[in-house]
Structure 1
């Protein structure tokens, strides 16, 4: 996919300078920030922490004096500039960095014009702004990669699992398979603030693999997501074990057999099949006997 040309607009009045590196790093994953502006009243002492960072990062500071009490000049200036960019500049996306609900209507308007809207804000960001964005990213999640713990999201894993399961069932009813990419897209459409980092993961694939209800099927370069059928999964493992025993004169130690299973079946998890010990799984397979050959070792033998 071609990189997006992004207009980055930061509400400096309510975003800390400590997030700047994380914000820019995140945007490099989807495109290039061709416009970078930050809005605020630079006469205020609390804004001074931005100074050196803006110079080093080629971000243009936009001065806004709060001339009227109760009116936020920074918000107004950012909104006006965003609309000016929409009509006069060649950009594909807007990244609006703020924890303020005042930008909800702006995000909706930009999306109506066919632009991708990436919202970024802290955990306190209202749902109205989150849901108006094409995608919303929690700044705490970004900053956790630099050593801080992400703030717990209201988004539950149970809700995520429900969306994944429904996606798979809908596709099954239509005679289609479900790719990992489709699951990610569906989750982001349902929950604009969905981010696996909220749950302590770096990758969607690992996040889903750790859910007992699902399994990943890797075929060539494709990764598919399926609902776990414990019986069919056990049958697949059982067939592999029988094949390995046949290829090794009908007998292997439990250590040898378990190593082969874990090396050749990447998604194998003993607990998913309802067993706490590997030898009990092997002993449950028709035609295989398991006997102790030493104090801490057992051997599986295929019946002739």
Structure 2
């Protein structure tokens, strides 16, 4: 059964160039039954959004800026989110913004048992990121460099300024997470590793480092052993990993 999602977009804070990739990404996590974008549509900076709303079936919500220097859009999104929450029509929310003002909203929605996915630019403050179940940087969704995909298939990180470097801190995070879910022989199911990584760090995503999947990213580090096992109940193979130091 699909997770029904309410998608609320801060039109003042997110560029329209990412809309196609954002909606495709959101569809991976559930069915976007409510799609709304907020902003003052009398302002010229939202003109580009107007061209893509109809083709993506997003409902524009007009919000005038009543006071200079105050963001009325944030308040409108928060009020609507609470109305939707109490309507019991959705299972989760997707908040599309890079604004830390939505931190308390994300926390409140999770307290109510809602799944909360955040999408925003890499400039998004940490408090909003950690308030979400998962946070996805929109920069990794729009990839115009074909070399990135080719490099990922080869298990290499592409040379691209927007790609994060795999630091020793990231390696330690992965190693500790593998240990947390490993069996007595040190092996851990990769699916469990990925889930726990996102619980520990909501913005963890192999695509941040130039890899479409977690497996080639882990393999590229050289400090982990990877094993593919046949699943008797399915044609798919299961991937297991362990820290090389745990090898017996």
TM-score (normalised: structure 2) = 0.86
CA distance, structure 2, for counterparts of residue 86 and residue 96 of structure 1:
13
Does residue 228 (structure 1) correspond to residue 239 (structure 2)? The answer is: no
SS of residue in 1 equivalent to 2:141 = helix
Paired residues, number: 230
The question of 1:48 aligning with 2:47 is answered: yes
**Unmatched 5+ stretches in structure 2:** 149-159, 231-236
Alpha-carbon deviation of 1:164?
Answer: 2.2
Deviation at 1:89, TM superposition (A): 3.6
Q: CA RMSD in A?
A: 2.2
Q: How does 1:1-304 map to 2 (within 5 A)?
A: 2-144=1-143, 151-153=162-164, 156-172=166-182, 177-220=187-230, 221-228=237-244
Instruction: Map Cα deviations across residues 89-112 of structure 1 (whole Å, 9 max, x no partner).
Output: 411110000010100000000011
Cα distance between partner residues in 2 of 1:150 and 1:104: 28
CA shift for structure 1 position 176: 6.8
CA contact (8 A) 1:150 1:198 kept: no
Partner of 1:95: helix, strand, or coil?
A: strand
In our comparison, the structure showing a higher alpha carbon Rg is 1
Higher relative contact order (CA 8 A, sep 6+): 2
Task: Name which of structure 1's ranges 158-167 and 107-116 shifts more when overlaid on structure 2.
Answer: 158-167
Residues 231/67 of structure 1: CA separation in 2 closer, same or farther (3 Å cut): closer
Q: Which runs of 5+ in 1 are unaligned?
A: 233-304
CA distance in 2, matches of 1:215, 1:177: 9
Q: 1:177 to 1:44 in 2, by over 3 A?
A: same
Between the aligned partners of 1:231 and 1:96, the Cα distance in structure 2 is 42
Query: Once the two structures are superposed, what CA deviation does each residue of 1:106-136 show, in whole Å capped at 9, x if it has no partner?
Result: 0000011111110011111100100101000
**Distance of 1:55 and 1:61 partners within structure 2:** 10
**Which contiguous aligned blocks of 4+ residues in structure 1 show a shift greater than 4 angstroms?**
145-150, 171-176, 229-232
Q: Distance in 1 between matches of 2:218 and 2:193?
A: 10
Corresponding residue number in structure 1 for 2:156? none
Question: Deviation of residue 45 (structure 1)?
Answer: 0.7
